[in-house]
Amino acid sequence: MNRNPQLNASGELHHLLTLEGLPREHVVRILDTAESFVSIAEREVKKVPLLRGKSIFNLFFENSTRTRTTFEIAAKRLSADVINLNIGASSTSKGETVLDTIDNLCAMQADMFVVRHAQSGAAHMIAQHLNATSQTHVHVINAGDGRHQHPTQGLLDLFTIRHYKKDLTRLRVAIVGDVLHSRVARSLIHGLTTLGVPEVRVVGPKTLIPTGAANMGVQIHHDMRTGVRDCDVVVMLRLQNERMRGALLPSAGEFFKNYGLTEEKLALARSDAIVMHPGPMNRGVEIDSPVADGKHSVILPQVTFGIAVRMAVMGILGGVNA
Amino acid sequence: MSDRLPDAEELVRVLAEQMQGAIAHEARLVGIHSGGAWIAERLAGMLDGDHPVGSIDVSFYRDDYSRVGLKPTVKRTSLPFEIDGARLVLVDDVLYTGRSVRAALNELFDYGRPASVELAVLIDRGGRELPIEPTYCATRLAIVESGTFVLQRADDGTLTLAVEDAPARSER
């Protein structure tokens, strides 16, 4: 079995599970390929025939309308057939295991699975199952697993940063808020490190910064003002209320006072700083409306780029044979 | 073999002479990446009149994707003019099976409905697998099936031809 289950025996990208340990050339290739897909959205026919005749299953064990929609649009722009399964409401509630569900869908000639699961490692487990059962023509994309990884979000963040800042080797990037529960933060940190961004900061209260953060090669700031000072990129994370267990925070209002991005705090960053947010935003909790709608915000372009990046990932994976 | 290769610069001049007066005065040139795009740029500078240049990367339209996957470097297709109603000349370096031209035609039609499309190539090496023929062609030149013509561009823009071992025939 491969040490890196994302790559096949020839070193090609076969599944996309995590940005941790994904070699730089694969990251760069995805971003470069996505550049060519951006322009397709501006054409009269917003479709290319690349994945015609392929069946892509969106397996969302955890709800996410936006991520599922962007994957669906990406697959349809590649001419694939897309089947959305709301797993929570079907087989698994009748007692079927995840891997039995996968085998059944493979028996329906699935070509690719896009997997979102509340459990860390779910997509990884499915990929290993496919590899171990010789169903190696089927590809898996991790669309978010628990607190672990959300690689396509990390890639679209990297794409956005590269689009606006060009040279990544001189940047200072701050990731602010609920880092503890954020798979977006984890994926982005790995990606930024891979592409050689020299200074990555995580900013948040002690209770929302994972204990091992320093081991990921990032600087830790508990004071927002020093945390965003002179930064080129400020990535705001969503305060994940639904993930909060126990009293990690006094209140949303208190959080906004200390860590909410206001125009006054943003003024401490570089004058040409960009503000990003993976969505959905909690206005008035982690980000103030004038900032979210302001000239530094690239939050909506992130969404548009996300489609191109997901097309690139699907396009590259779909052409890789076992 | 290489000493008998024609001079690419000379072939571009021959092609320009054929096209001069034959193409529509409002024709737009669309070069297929990468060789065709270089040639289209050069032709635009040599032909009388104003002939805007676009370039097209047919990677997303190739018929061998499911066998060989996506090329590692896909370039952005750039057609900075209206395709609807336009008179187009598709430009490529080497015409072989015709599959790249088929892919390019499909891509062009996703941008609009051109009034006409002609095809200009430096070299026709035979071996067609589709009913596609060039409108303008600088030379016809046979080559063993295991070889492939490669157009190269030096830093100063000079074009040269070389012969390399070909990947499998299906990849052309």
List of chain A residues whose C-beta atoms are within 8 Å of the C-beta of residue B76: 35-36, 38-39
Q: Is residue A158 one of the residues assigned to a domain?
A: yes
DSSP letters, A212-250, are TGGGGT-EEESSHHHHHTT-SEEEEPP--GGG--S-S-S
Question: Do A175 and A189 fall into the same domain?
Answer: yes
Is B111 within 8 Å of chain A by CB?
A: yes
- Residue A40: inside a domain: yes
pLDDT digits (tens, 9 = 90+) for B105-157: 999 999 999 999 999 999 999 999 999 999 999 999 988 888 899 999 999 99
The whole-model pTM stands at: 0.91
Q: What is the mean pLDDT of residues A92-117?
A: 90
Partner-chain contact A39 B77, CB within 8 Å: yes
B66: contact with A, CB 8 A cutoff:
yes
**Is A5 domain-assigned?**
no
Chain A contact present for B110, CB below 8 A: yes
User: Rounded to an integer, what distance in angstroms lies between the CA atom of residue A221 and that of residue A176?
Assistant: 9
Total domain count, chain A: 2
Give start and end residues of each alpha helix (H) in A95-233: 98-107, 122-132, 151-165, 183-194, 224-228
Residue A192 maps to which CATH number?
Answer: 3.40.50.1370
Residues in A whose CB is inside 8 Å of some CB of B read 12, 29, 32-33, 35-36, 38-40, 43-45, 47-50, 315-316, 318-321
Q: Is A145 helix (H, G, I), strand (E, B) or coil?
A: strand
- Cβ of A319 within 8 Å of Cβ of B59? The answer is no
Please enumerate in sequence order all residues whose Cβ is within 8 A of that of B112, keeping only pairs 6 or more positions apart, or say none: A44, B82, B83, B84, B85, B86
Whether the Cβ atoms of residue A18 and residue A148 lie closer than 8 Å to each other: yes
When CB atoms are compared, the residue of A29, A39, A48 closest to B61 is A48
Distance CA B69, CA A48 (A): 15
Residues A265, A311 within the same domain: no
**Boundaries of domain holding A160:** 151-300
CB A281 within 8 A of CB A252: no
What number is the average pLDDT over the span A307-313? 97
- Structural domain includes residue A16: no
Task: Spell out the residues 6+ positions from residue A234 whose beta carbon is closer than 8 angstroms to its own.
Answer: A173, A174, A176, A228, A261, A266, A269, A273, A274, A275, A276
Domain annotation for chain B: domains and CATH numbers: 7-144 (3.40.50.2020)
Give tens-digit pLDDT for B47-100: 999 999 999 999 999 999 988 899 888 998 999 999 999 999 999 999 999 999
Question: Do A145 and A168 reside in the same domain of the chain?
Answer: no
The mean pLDDT value of chain A amounts to: 92
Minimal CA separation from B113 to chain A, in Å: 11
Co-location of A49 and A142 in the same domain = yes
User: Which residues make beta-bridge pairs with B30?
Assistant: B54, B90
Residues A294 and A186 in one domain: yes
Interface-testing mutation among B70, B108, B111, with chain A (most A C-beta atoms within 10 A)? B70
Q: pLDDT digit string (tens) for B11-45? A: 999 999 999 999 999 999 999 999 999 999 999 99
- Cis bond leading into A250, ω under 30°? no
Tens of pLDDT along A250-304?
788 888 999 999 999 999 999 999 999 999 999 999 999 999 999 999 999 999 9
Judged by CB atoms closer than 8 Å, whether chains meet at B111 and A44 is answered as: yes
Q: Based on the domain organization, do A126 and A234 belong to the same domain?
A: no
pLDDT digits 0-9 by tens, A202-253: 999 998 999 888 888 899 999 999 999 999 999 999 987 765 556 677 788 8
d(CA B22, CA A23): 51
- Residue A4 within any structural domain of the chain: no
- Residue that wins the pLDDT comparison between A91 and A24: A24
User: B104: closest CA among B165, B157, B50, B61?
Assistant: B61
Q: Does B100 touch chain A (CB under 8 A)?
A: no
Helix (H, G, I), strand (E, B) or coil at A32: helix
Residues near A120 by Cβ (< 8 Å), separated by ≥ 6? A145, A146, A147, A148, A149
Same-domain pairing of A137 and A278? no
DSSP-assigned states of every residue in A33-85: HHHHHHGGGGSSS---STTTT-EEEEEESS--HHHHHHHHHHHHHTT-EEEEE
